[in-house]
Amino acid sequence: MTAYKHAPNRSLRRRLALVSAVTAGGLLLAACGGNATEGMDHGSGGSASATQNAGNHPAPGAFNDADVSFAQMMIPHHEQALEMAKLADGRASDAEIKSLAADIEKAQDPEIRKMRSWLKAWGKPESAEGSMPGMDHGSGGMDGSEMSGMMSGEDMDKLRGAKGTEFDRMFAQMMIEHHKGAIAMAEDEQKNGRNTTAKELAADVIESQSAEVEKFQKILDRL
């Protein structure tokens, strides 16, 4: 009688223990699976994507109208400086003029690409013509002082027609004026801009082009 009573109790306890173990195991697997999935989502999707997007953004952080205007105006300003610098090949006779022209090409072409990438990321047009009446890319300048230092079409024609010392002197004079215009625009960005990356480039423009203005002035003094 005793053995009979204990056998079903042991069998029942085993079944209950087995059910409990399976249930607990299933809950544990479900919990682990949920955590693992959640962890994978956050690790490879949410935070990683956010970090990646921030890292890939050419000008992360907030920006304002001054940042946009700086890029929109500095691009054509730099483009004209590149056009002027390329004219030195075959026309310039002074070694320093040739060296500075090469430096301008090396520095300003990458800066143009940077600013274009900003505007694209910000969803803004590259051209400021729509918001700035008076812009005249055909003549190489603007009415007013928004893009000071830009050469007129007539100025560019004169530079193209010059050679030797005449070109060196004209190039230095024009580039001083052109650089001073870029410096003024960069100073305005430093004062009114909001985007850190744009303001850093403005600081670089001020530093590098101020140094070049001094070099061009020394060249003029000895020509």
pLDDT at position 54 is 52
Among the ranges given (2-6, 149-153, 219-223), the one the predictor scored with the smallest mean pLDDT: 2-6
Looking at the domain 63-222, which fold is it?
Ferritin (1.20.1260)
The pTM for the full model equals: 0.69
Which residue has tokens 């969803």? 123
Q: What angle do CA 90, 91, 96 make, to 5 degrees?
A: 100
pLDDT higher than threshold 90 for residue 220? yes
Q: What is the pLDDT of residue 215?
A: 97
Q: What is the mean pLDDT of the segment spanning 108-126? A: 96
Q: Give the three-state DSSP class for 75.
A: helix
pLDDT at 116 > cutoff 90:
yes
E strands of 84-214, at which residues? 135-136, 141-142
**Residue 169: band (very low, low, confident or very high) from pLDDT cuts 50, 70, 90:** very high
Query: pLDDT value at position 122?
Result: 96
Check pLDDT > 50 for residue 120.
yes
**Phi/psi of residue 135, nearest 5 degrees:** -65, 130
Position with higher pLDDT, 198 vs 140: 198
**Which residue ranges make up each domain of the chain?**
1-56, 63-222
* Banded model confidence at residue 74, pLDDT cuts 50, 70, 90: very high
From the list 156, 133, 12, the residue with the least C-alpha distance to 82 is 156
